[in-house]
Structure 1
Amino acid sequence: MKELKQPRHGHLTTALALVAGALGVCAIGPAHAALGSQPLTAPQGATAANAVVHAATGASGASASAAANYSVRTTTLASGTVINEYVSSGGTVFGIAWRGPRVPDLSTLLGSYFPQYKQGLLAQRAERGGRGAVSVEGSDLVVHSSGHMGAFAGNAYLPQSLPAGVSASDIQ
């Protein structure tokens, strides 16, 4: 009887990891959202709801506009993490906030701004070390993230895209 040759373990592990990763992505479903883009398409197992429509107020407290100029869309992921998306009246996400047991996929949520975030994160880690809260602040993008295992929170926003009367403290 001829003995079957076993594949090398490293190649098998890599192949299985690629298949599992591909299946995992398919099982979760698409999650399309990004700062400066359209709101999140809730992935499988998540729930989404449009929250209150807001009219931003100016410093004097008077309404900045008779029409609402942004809304908040809340998505609860299967992990329990809650994501609030701040959407302009034109339908563009200008801010995102999250809280929950896991940090959401920031590469998806930050979209084309993710490389800028990653560069700021790497610079911060090089300066202060590899742990602790993250604070990346630039003229185009601001991201704050903190927490510990099981309890994370953060926000990200585009300062240049904040509607009139909306401040950074409104993104929560």
Structure 2
Amino acid sequence: MSNRTMHAAVCAAFTCGLLLAAAPASAALGGVPTPPPTGAVSSSLGPVAHVASGAATASTTSAATYTVTQTTFGSGTVVREYVSTSGTVFGIAWGGPTMPNLPVLLGTYFPQFDSARNALRAARPGRGPLVIELPGLVVRSGGHMGAFGGQAYLPSALPAGVSASDIQ
């Protein structure tokens, strides 16, 4: 085996190892939350209740409309999952030095996203933020090496009073 061939094989093995070592996200969009992977730190940011603007008073009590769980991976990437009271993940947001594992994050919605992404990149080659707005799925992703961020949500699954801007 020549040095060049060996170097290529080592680089390929290293790259595959990095891809396989990337920690999966903690939930799949449209599914139920899953436990965080080994090495990740997860915490609940608590239940969130939405009250119409200006309608809150000291005596107003409101039922939680969703919960937020934040998972910090060893890479420093943070993934927040937004879970309805029925236990379904309706939104996910991420930010950090590495991109999260989108096939895991998007679950059964990944093929739909991937197809739309490929069509968009074929129509507009190059780099830049990615905005996919389909009837049942919205994904926004952008950044650069060392600083990535994005969000994905299911518009029809947003709880009453919750908007896309709440997923961050």
- Shift in Å, 1:130: 2.9
2:111 is the alignment partner of 1:105: no
Q: Taking structure 1 as the reference length, what is the TM-score of the superposition?
A: 0.80
2: CA distance between counterparts of 1:81 and 1:32? 12
1:53 alignment partner in structure 2: 47
- Shift in Å, 1:40: 3.8
CA displacement 1:32-70 (0-9 Å, x = unmatched): 52011112421121100011211123366459x831010
Cα RMSD over matched residues? 2.9
2: CA distance between counterparts of 1:87 and 1:54? 10
1:35 alignment partner in structure 2: 29
1: CA distance between counterparts of 2:71 and 2:125? 32
Structure 1 unaligned regions, length at least 5: 1-5
2:163 alignment partner in structure 1: 167
Native 8 Å contact 2:69 2:80 kept in 1: yes
Q: Which protein shows a greater Rg?
A: 1
2:128 is the alignment partner of 1:128: no
Mapping of residues 2-151 of structure 1, within 5 Å: 17=13, 25=20, 33-58=27-52, 61=55, 66-151=62-147
Deviates more, 1:121-130 or 1:151-160: 121-130
1:156 alignment partner in structure 2: 152
1: CA distance between counterparts of 2:25 and 2:149? 19
Structure 2 unaligned regions, length at least 5: none
1: CA distance between counterparts of 2:147 and 2:26? 24
The one-letter amino acid paired with 1:67 is A
Runs of 4+ residues over 3 Å off in structure 1: 27-32, 58-63
Corresponding residue SS for 2:136: coil
1:3 alignment partner in structure 2: none
1: CA distance between counterparts of 2:130 and 2:52? 30
Q: Larger relative contact order (C-alpha < 8 A, sep ≥ 6)? A: 2
Percent pairwise identity: 53
CA displacement 1:87-138 (0-9 Å, x = unmatched): 1111111000001001100000000000111111111111211310000001
In structure 2, do the counterparts of structure 1 residues 32 and 97 end up closer, same or farther at CA, with 3 Å as the change threshold?
closer
Corresponding residue SS for 2:80: strand
